[in-house]
Amino acid sequence: MRPLENVIWQALTTRHTRFAQSFGTARRFVPEVGPLAAFEQHGDEGYVSLAGLVDGGTVGVFLEEPYAPRPGWEFVVGAPLLQMICENGAASARPSNGHPKIEVLGDKDSPEMLELTALTKPGPFSTRTHELGYYVGIRDAGKLVAMAGERLKVPGHTEVSAVCTHPDHLGKGYAATLMNEVMSAIRGRGETAFLHVRGDNPRAIALYERLGFRISWRGHFAVLRKRNRDAEASQVSHY
């Protein structure tokens, strides 16, 4: 297995075991950290195992191919997914205007981080997601307007994630500034930075390429909900 292959599974079986729930051949992050989940191997057994971890809500999985219908599961949303890696260790970008102060974010900032990610939708973010690693932000008039941090961690690699900027503050270079800060911390630990981005988000892809990232994998993500057995039975009876 290459270092970033089946990366959610690898994270949950190595550096993120303390955040993991497991059942059979599936693992997921505890819901307060996030909805990401994975199977040891893709197939019917994996989905059966995953069902044992889902009481309600949704889970997100990374797939090699577009999601195909599975018994007991409802497809909520999905899209092409790119994994990008920065191996040159020399990322750079245009400095943001005015060199704003970068602030380390933690528990006390969680409500504002949730508010910003709910508005900008950089990917799933929950009440304890910030516990996964180093998170930083920029404030304007005391309000958090941009942030970035670390999510998936596997041996030798750390993912840059939750990169987002309030719509009123776009074009100031905040995302690049914060990504460079996070990537500097990753390189300082002797690790390689990587990230995931929707394949239909050219603006973000262009930014990441300017920062030195290149595409290392093309796949898909899917957000799934376990079907309610009573609802399924009712549908069958109705028809």
Instruction: Give the whole-number percent of the chain exceeding pLDDT 90.
Output: 84
Domains within the chain, CATH numbers bracketed: 7-82+220-238 (3.40.630.30), 84-216 (3.40.630.30)
| pLDDT band at residue 89 under the 50/70/90 scheme | low
C-alpha–C-alpha distance, residues 28 and 20, integer Å: 6
Long-range CB contacts (within 8 A, 24+) of 21-25: 21/53, 22/53, 23/49, 23/50, 23/52, 23/53, 24/48, 24/49, 24/52, 25/49
Chain position carrying tokens 């999601």: 67
Q: Average per-residue pLDDT in the chain?
A: 91
Partners of 140 in beta bridges: 143
Residue 90 has pLDDT above 70, yes or no: no
pLDDT of residue 129: 98
Residue 233 has pLDDT above 60, yes or no: no
Least confident stretch, 90-94, 141-145, 196-200: 90-94
pLDDT of residue 5: 95
Q: pLDDT tens for residues 157-199?
A: 999 999 999 999 999 999 999 999 999 999 999 999 999 999 9
Asked if residue 160 lies in contact with residue 136, where contact means CB atoms within 8 angstroms, the answer is: no
Residue 80 has pLDDT above 80, yes or no: yes
Report yes or no on whether pTM surpasses 0.85. yes
Q: pLDDT tens for residues 19-57?
A: 999 999 999 999 999 999 999 988 899 999 999 999 888
C-alpha–C-alpha distance, residues 137 and 149, integer Å: 9
pLDDT of residue 239: 36
C-alpha–C-alpha distance, residues 77 and 61, integer Å: 11
Mean pLDDT (whole number) for 50-69? 94
